[in-house]
Structure 1
């Protein structure tokens, strides 16, 4: 099988006989039932391929769709004038870059459809192009915009430049409303849906299908599609990894499934990771490694976010569905970027519960966070295998020595708020260890507790800040934390730890 890894052009994909998961039934419904749309999906999720497929469809290229659902649904196969804007490649951190790229598109369209001397602004020129294209071709125009929000994401901390871009695009996109009589179809995609700083504050005729149950699977791969389209690949992957096909399907599900863009909807597999896995016949964090979430981590640290809440977040629909660059809540941006997904919905209070979609995202995100929240990666790298070997071999003393070395020489710049720093750092350590051992972390009132279980040992850990290790151990005993394991035959270790804000590290520990 030929897997279209990185291929976003529908015509190339079809002509070169790459695998294509047929989305054309949904595309036909999209075109048949509406006119103006917006879709938000994480990066590398198939948005550009969807735009390219729409472009081929509206170009009347019937031969490219032979064997697909839309081939028999569409009878006319008309060719429309298409204005396709791709904002993927530009560097918007440089002032004037947005004008340059829009001007380039307009110049090319004006060569094709003509221009007027009176059209001196981007908006007037776009308006004129739309009208002349429709009149010259005898059919209304199709407008496709890929990654409309790229300029906002790249300039999130530059409010002045963002305001300039907003004013340019506000007038430019207004054509979608004022030239309605000349427009057959318009489709905008992006990673995020911005509220107050973008097109959506004024362009209210767009239908947002990001959480529309009819089109949930228009990007990405469902389990049904995985089994139907990747039979050969699943068999090859099973042979390569020495597992049964059922075990292979479960491994794929754990690593790459789990995206829910509406409560109660089917799970969606990350297409980029699935294609890479099938192509290379090995599992890896393919999607995560294509873009590091440094910007999102900066938001978390800027707003002093408690990382443990990442998997406990409950958020209302109006917040989850729109991002405001002035907001102090980093979660909507993290959700829309694909690092969190919908895990449940509280009908009574109209709140969504969020969490990590799958193992690839959770493990990748936590490992990426660790060196940015601690000194790990610099003076004291976190070697999870060494920590796990310590607990599996029943050596809590060596485990704590490693922990002390891990926190040694942490800078004040990293620490900031000592209590929050320690909470976040310990959360990351135990969560990452949890991928290899069973770690539970009941927490309350700022305490850091952990229960680590292996086949032979149980570790109950209580941490204090600017107190004593004895006090931490006393709390374990006074609160009878070991009670649930009274009948367990495994050896139990109780570890009290004190963390010092003055030394910014583990000051002392006691083991019972």
Structure 2
């Protein structure tokens, strides 16, 4: 069993290659057929590495009539005609765009390829004029309307987000280019665009009001990603090997996969899906790790959070947003939530139908702890790459009952700060305490106060239950007194473990922990 060697499609984005070379495939062709049965132009937003490119490649093979590739799949029973259409497939994901010339060069590369097939009489015109001509000629020459597939339509825009001038140049180019899809509608059989974001406010879609955004549709909530049923039915042998290597039962393996990689919801009532990139890599490496998070660092998002002075505690505990607030991208520091959601770091948890408000939260532990580990160096002076080392030390010290070592280490998080501690900056320090205790939840049961009537933090190890109270402009004695007076210990009295009270005072003058008392 350990020698199991079925082919997992990591990095395979071409449907034809996947099928011809015998890679495992999670069958989404039933949904492909359902979408393709309409001539409506579609848009789908999903996070990076969620299978958007493979989905478009599947559409390409279907519309090119490659029936043999679909043998044994759901679509084989649904499709009866297998007509062939001219397909124009544009992939903007394969290049780094640093100037407008880079974007035009990429468009020209595809236009030249299409013009070889359908005519180059307009080759000296603008990209949008050439695109319109190619669509018209392809339809006339083949006698069938054209299929247009555009993968990662927003890649240039995302790369220029911190450069307003360049962003505007890209916007002008792409608005004109994508606008062709409306004027050429009579020549189109089908159009499908994918991306991470919906750039509503930069008017890229203003001329595409016929585009149907299915990103939050119930019917297509699982078109990208892997459902739990698909996971266990497609990958059971690999799951069994993963469990055996890591000392888990099959059921424990599925539970661990669920905790780490499941939890994405693209409709409040829709079925949740696993991150396909993380699933495939965990099965291939036979190890649980942060695969998706490691492939892209959300530096810009963290800078946006800091610029907005957004309270990270609210984000980590779950945030509310109206539908418009997070489905349409806004490049505003005062509201970083839309981009964080669309980038895949938050997902839908609940929906209030009465007030039309969504509650968003981290989809799973890979994203939750990956995000918090990543942002910690932005708020503390610890070296990048030593985050887990520090948190691991915290856990060991508490397991050993060494409170002085724990609090001395915590002091190091504040040692190099130059901020004056005032009312405006107080939350900054509170966030650091919050992050430390939240990150400890990876390894032990830790909770941080989110409501009145509870201690600031509680950490449970095998031997101890620690109840922490921190006092700014107060004393360690007052902190211990508050633990007693407010009854913070009551929920834990029947537990059986040793309860340890820790009162900590934080000095505004020193901008750090100054004293503590332990009982």
TM range (shorter): over 0.9
Aligned equivalents of 1:335 and 1:259: distance in 2?
Answer: 11
Aligned equivalents of 2:106 and 2:422: distance in 1?
Answer: 42
Q: CA deviation at 1:510?
A: 2.5
| Alignment partner, residue 3 of structure 2 | none
The DSSP-based 3-state class of the residue aligned with 1:80 is coil
| Alignment partner, residue 396 of structure 1 | 403
Q: CA deviation at 1:268?
A: 0.2
Whether the 8 Å contact between 1:387 and 1:402 is mirrored in structure 2 is yes
Q: CA deviation at 1:466?
A: 4.5
| Alignment partner, residue 455 of structure 1 | 462
When structure 1 is superposed on structure 2, of 452-461 and 110-119 the one drifting more is 110-119
| Alignment partner, residue 74 of structure 2 | 69
Structure 1: which 5+ runs fail to align? none
Aligned equivalents of 2:124 and 2:178: distance in 1?
Answer: 16
Whether the 8 Å contact between 2:100 and 2:170 is mirrored in structure 1 is no
Q: CA deviation at 1:169?
A: 1.1
Query: Within the alignment, does 1:28 sit opposite 2:33 as a pair?
Result: yes
Aligned equivalents of 2:333 and 2:377: distance in 1?
Answer: 26
In the superposition, the TM-score normalised over structure 1's length comes to 0.94
Aligned equivalents of 1:15 and 1:273: distance in 2?
Answer: 24
Query: Within the alignment, does 1:193 sit opposite 2:192 as a pair?
Result: no
Aligned equivalents of 1:348 and 1:172: distance in 2?
Answer: 40
| Alignment partner, residue 214 of structure 1 | 219
Q: Which one of the candidate residues 231, 247, 250 is aligned to 1:245? A: 250
Change (3 A) 1:444 1:85: same
Whether the 8 Å contact between 2:312 and 2:431 is mirrored in structure 1 is yes
Aligned equivalents of 2:104 and 2:477: distance in 1?
Answer: 64
Whether the 8 Å contact between 1:380 and 1:406 is mirrored in structure 2 is no
Change (3 A) 1:95 1:465: farther
Aligned equivalents of 1:276 and 1:296: distance in 2?
Answer: 25
| Alignment partner, residue 318 of structure 2 | 312
Aligned equivalents of 1:219 and 1:308: distance in 2?
Answer: 30
Aligned equivalents of 2:333 and 2:215: distance in 1?
Answer: 21
Whether the 8 Å contact between 1:119 and 1:128 is mirrored in structure 2 is no
| Alignment partner, residue 273 of structure 1 | 278
Change (3 A) 1:412 1:252: same
| Alignment partner, residue 496 of structure 2 | 489
Listed one character per residue, the Cα deviations across residues 78-134 of structure 1 (whole Å, up to 9, x for unaligned) are 221111111112222334222221122222222321133596222211111111111
Q: CA deviation at 1:467?
A: 4.2
When structure 1 is superposed on structure 2, of 276-285 and 112-121 the one drifting more is 112-121
| Alignment partner, residue 47 of structure 1 | 52
Aligned equivalents of 1:187 and 1:312: distance in 2?
Answer: 32
Q: CA deviation at 1:202?
A: 2.9
Aligned equivalents of 1:294 and 1:203: distance in 2?
Answer: 31
Q: CA deviation at 1:13?
A: 0.6
Change (3 A) 1:438 1:134: same
Listed one character per residue, the Cα deviations across residues 379-419 of structure 1 (whole Å, up to 9, x for unaligned) are 98652222111111222122111111232223549999531
Aligned equivalents of 2:391 and 2:358: distance in 1?
Answer: 33
Whether the 8 Å contact between 1:197 and 1:325 is mirrored in structure 2 is no
Number of positions where the alignment pairs a residue of Structure 1 with one of Structure 2: 511
Aligned equivalents of 2:175 and 2:455: distance in 1?
Answer: 48
Query: Within the alignment, does 1:511 sit opposite 2:518 as a pair?
Result: yes
Aligned equivalents of 2:45 and 2:172: distance in 1?
Answer: 22
Whether the 8 Å contact between 2:397 and 2:406 is mirrored in structure 1 is yes
Whether the 8 Å contact between 1:460 and 1:494 is mirrored in structure 2 is yes
Query: Within the alignment, does 1:479 sit opposite 2:486 as a pair?
Result: yes
| Alignment partner, residue 288 of structure 2 | 283
The DSSP-based 3-state class of the residue aligned with 2:456 is strand
Aligned equivalents of 1:185 and 1:379: distance in 2?
Answer: 47
Aligned equivalents of 2:122 and 2:204: distance in 1?
Answer: 27
| Alignment partner, residue 299 of structure 1 | 304
When structure 1 is superposed on structure 2, of 455-464 and 162-171 the one drifting more is 455-464
Q: CA deviation at 1:288?
A: 0.9
Q: CA deviation at 1:448?
A: 8.4
Q: CA deviation at 1:455?
A: 2.8
For residues 462-473 of structure 1, what are the structure 2 equivalents within 5 Å? Answer: 462-473=469-480
Structure 2: which 5+ runs fail to align? 1-5
| Alignment partner, residue 112 of structure 2 | 107
Listed one character per residue, the Cα deviations across residues 152-176 of structure 1 (whole Å, up to 9, x for unaligned) are 2111121111111111111111111
In the superposition, the TM-score normalised over structure 2's length comes to 0.93
When structure 1 is superposed on structure 2, of 293-302 and 484-493 the one drifting more is 484-493
